[in-house]
Amino acid sequence: MSTVIKYGIFAGLLGILGYAIYKGSQKVSEWANQIGVAFSSFGLPVPTQGGIALPVNVVINSPVPADIPIDNVRIGLFILKNSMWVQFGVANTGPFQIATGDTPLKLLPIIDVTKLVPKIDSVQSVLNTLSTQGTLVQVKAITDITVQGFTASIETVQPISLKQILDAA
């Protein structure tokens, strides 16, 4: 077989391989666009060794008829202070698999209580905060789900009891 024919066959195989990789990346992109994530609820705060965890329940929905590898689910929790959203908690899952349909997931972000209450140096400062801010605060949760390098986000604002968080502290 001549060298020209060998190079022609090799170039053709490379072209087919490149096309297959391109089509595969398009399919993964389609999967990432079909997967949804929805905020479900906050759980009761629980003390942990690392601080206070504020359980956040989300549901991941996949209409794809196969198990899908998830790279990561990240949630950031924010509170409105002086007209700005300030992050006070974050959690990441790391990689895992989801099946077709709804997959419930509990994230446990460790929260920074000092960002919720300006000073926790006395019972009076806590009482002052509760009397000025009320017992419910608005918390924004931004949930990012990453599949094969593609990320989709959902943002929701929900009330949560500041008293429950402070009781866990």
Fold of 36-168: Immunoglobulin-like (2.60.40)
What is the token pair recorded at 58? 């989300």
Give the chain's radius of gyration (CA, Å).
23
pLDDT tens per residue across span 91-148: 999 999 988 899 999 988 988 877 776 555 555 555 565 555 556 777 888 888 888 7
pLDDT tens per residue across span 9-20: 655 555 554 444
* Helix or strand holding residue 16 (H, E): helix 3-34
Domain residue spans in the chain? 1-34, 36-168
- Report the mean per-residue pLDDT for the chain: 74
Confidence of residue 36 (pLDDT cuts 50, 70, 90): confident
Please say whether the dihedral angle defined by the alpha carbons of residues 126, 129, 134 and 139, taken in this order, is positive or negative. negative
pTM of the model: 0.66
Going by C-alpha positions, the residue among 87, 90, 93 that lies closest to residue 106 is 93
CA distances from residue 75 to 21, 110, 111, 145, 169 in whole angstroms, order as listed: 31, 11, 12, 9, 21
